[in-house]
Amino acid sequence: KSHPNAPPCIRGWIPWFGAAFEFGKAPLHFIQQARDKYGPVFTVVAAGKRLTFVTLNEDFRAFFTSKDVDFEQAVQEAVHNTASINKDCFYKTHPTCATIIKGRLTPGNTAMLSVHLCEEFNDHLENLGSKGTGQLNEIIKSVMYPAVMSNLLGRCNSPSNSLTRQEFLEKFTTYDEGFEYGSQLPDLFLKQWANSKRWLLSLLRNMAIRAQETLYNENDGKTLLQHLASTISDKYLPNYGLLLLWASLANAIPITFWAIAFILANPEAYKIAMDQINVALRDQDKEKTRVTLDDLQHMPYVKWCIMEAIRLRAPGAITRKVVRPLKLRNYVIPPGDLLMLSPYWAHRNPKYFPDPEDFKPERWEMADLEKNVHLEGFVAFGGGKNQCPGRWYAVMELHMFVALILYKFEFTPLDPIPKPSPLHLVGTQQPDGPCRVRYKHK
């Protein structure tokens, strides 16, 4: 029996199955329909879990800062299933790891990482050749996966030869695509997915060994993996490495796809962006193009396009576990519930974002992005103590990549922009269909 002050609860009519079926078909759309029907706070019982959604911006503060909710307890099971880190170890080590990662990805350190990242982008863009046709998504992954991995986890350790790179691309794609189901089910049910996980863990194991061996040779040039290695000399280092790898690629790379697709589909946006890029990078070599943070400052419009892509394709849901009865409006949410907040839907509130479905880079003119002041109502990176530590790096990385690829290549879209897939709640949206482009070197 529900508590008298508990929020409305959607169970579906097969009691033990709950609303899992309706919810599972298109969870992203289910949230909005449920909100219209049941009000701003409601509980979905799906596959034996209670998910309580908070949909009003006034309640987001409680989600991010209340002492009655907890991030680690909310994600622990997913961490266990996706990276094989057991509960006790996770609770013991996560705070330290989170602190290190946060410290290494400050705006200042992000600026230092940008120099090497630009070299990596140039190198991997060369592999595209002078012209070709392909899926935009695949083109972006083939450059960004190895470049970002090398930049954050170590240059010599990245899959550098083309054979390993191809294998890495395949394995990581399988892992990423199955992440949401994999996070909820034992390996037993997902053979191919579990296989990709094992492959990636063994890659990370090799990288962690090399990271530890070379730890004392270089002082300033330590990678993020080496910083982790110097603090957690734990047998779980490769497992944390895998989580970090996933966190750094899973959201940022689909957003890069959307940013470029939106720019290519909007001739006016494309023109303004290209004008800024061409002025900022004028006279630069098209083979080895150096994009500095100063150059990026001269392309504010490109950054607005990126923020707008992040807004429109923000994560389906983020989560906290209720650990003590949580008062919200007139409700009391019972301990054990997973509290859910959907940045995707929050960004479709016309009160904060007029014409919310439209791609309007100009709306970001009001935000002071240099000081990292976003628009009110923007929650793509979460908030509170566990806000995304990679947010400065993410925006820098996307800004640089989009400028660089549009400077070097001319694209002709061959398909209309696909819809976002409504299938997943974890992370940013994937395209629901093909998006082929023809490209050639300028």
**In the complex, least distance from residue 383 CB atom to ligand HEM, rounded to whole angstroms:** 5
SS3 302: helix
| 70-109: contacts with ligand HEM (CB under 6 A) | 71, 98, 101, 105
Q: Is 431 in the site for ligand HEM (CB under 6 A)?
A: no
> Of residues 168, 364, 392, 393, which one binds ligand HEM by CB under 6 A?
393
**In the complex, least distance from residue 110 CB atom to ligand HEM, rounded to whole angstroms:** 9
| Residue 264 contacts residue 411 (beta carbons within 8 Å) | yes
Q: Is 12 in the site for ligand HEM (CB under 6 A)?
A: no
Size of the site for ligand HEM (CB under 6 A): 26
**Two tokens, residue 332:** 């009391």
> Judged by CB, which is closer to ligand HEM: 10, or 252?
252
> Of residues 82, 137, 251, 342, which one binds ligand HEM by CB under 6 A?
251
Cβ-based neighbours of 348, under 8 Å, separated by 6 or more: 356, 357
**In the complex, least distance from residue 81 CB atom to ligand HEM, rounded to whole angstroms:** 16
CA nearest neighbour of 162 among 116, 129, 193:
129
Distance, in Å, from the CA atom of 435 to the CA atom of 217, rounded to the nearest integer, reads: 45
Q: 388: annotated binding-site residue?
A: yes
| 114-173: contacts with ligand HEM (CB under 6 A) | 152
User: What residue spans of 105-251 are helical by DSSP H?
Assistant: 107-126, 136-153, 162-177, 179-182, 191-213, 224-231, 237-250
Dihedral of the alpha carbons of 86, 87, 88, 94, in degrees to the nearest 10: 90
| Residue 211 CA: distances (Å) to CA of 116, 150, 215, 301 | 18, 12, 6, 38
| 188-217: contacts with ligand HEM (CB under 6 A) | none
Q: Is 312 in the site for ligand HEM (CB under 6 A)?
A: no
**In the complex, least distance from residue 149 CB atom to ligand HEM, rounded to whole angstroms:** 10
**Two tokens, residue 117:** 């990242």
> Of residues 82, 157, 248, 430, which one binds ligand HEM by CB under 6 A?
248
Distance, in Å, from the CA atom of 389 to the CA atom of 376, rounded to the nearest integer, reads: 19
**In the complex, least distance from residue 391 CB atom to ligand HEM, rounded to whole angstroms:** 6
> Judged by CB, which is closer to ligand HEM: 197, or 313?
313
Task: Calculate Rg over the CA atoms of the chain.
Answer: 22
Dihedral of the alpha carbons of 386, 201, 139, 127, in degrees to the nearest 10: 120
Cβ-based neighbours of 321, under 8 Å, separated by 6 or more: 69, 70, 71, 73, 74, 336, 337, 338, 339
| Residue 429 contacts residue 344 (beta carbons within 8 Å) | yes
**Two tokens, residue 400:** 């640089």
> Judged by CB, which is closer to ligand HEM: 19, or 243?
243
Q: Is 241 in the site for ligand HEM (CB under 6 A)?
A: no
CA nearest neighbour of 416 among 428, 432, 405, 427:
432
> Of residues 296, 388, 405, 426, which one binds ligand HEM by CB under 6 A?
388
> Judged by CB, which is closer to ligand HEM: 150, or 386?
386
Distance, in Å, from the CA atom of 25 to the CA atom of 385, rounded to the nearest integer, reads: 32
> Of residues 41, 280, 380, 437, which one binds ligand HEM by CB under 6 A?
380
The one segment of 120-128, 226-234, 376-384, 401-409 that binds ligand HEM by CB under 6 A: 376-384
For the chain, give the number of residues: 442
> Of residues 237, 252, 328, 435, which one binds ligand HEM by CB under 6 A?
252
**Two tokens, residue 200:** 């990636």
Q: 251: annotated binding-site residue?
A: yes
| 315-374: contacts with ligand HEM (CB under 6 A) | 315, 318
**In the complex, least distance from residue 388 CB atom to ligand HEM, rounded to whole angstroms:** 3
Q: From the annotation, which residues make up the binding site for substrate?
A: 251
Q: From the annotation, which residues make up the binding site for heme?
A: 388
Which positions lie near ligand HEM, rule CB under 6 A?
A: 71, 98, 101, 105, 152, 244, 247-248, 251-252, 255, 310, 315, 318, 380-383, 386-390, 393-394, 428
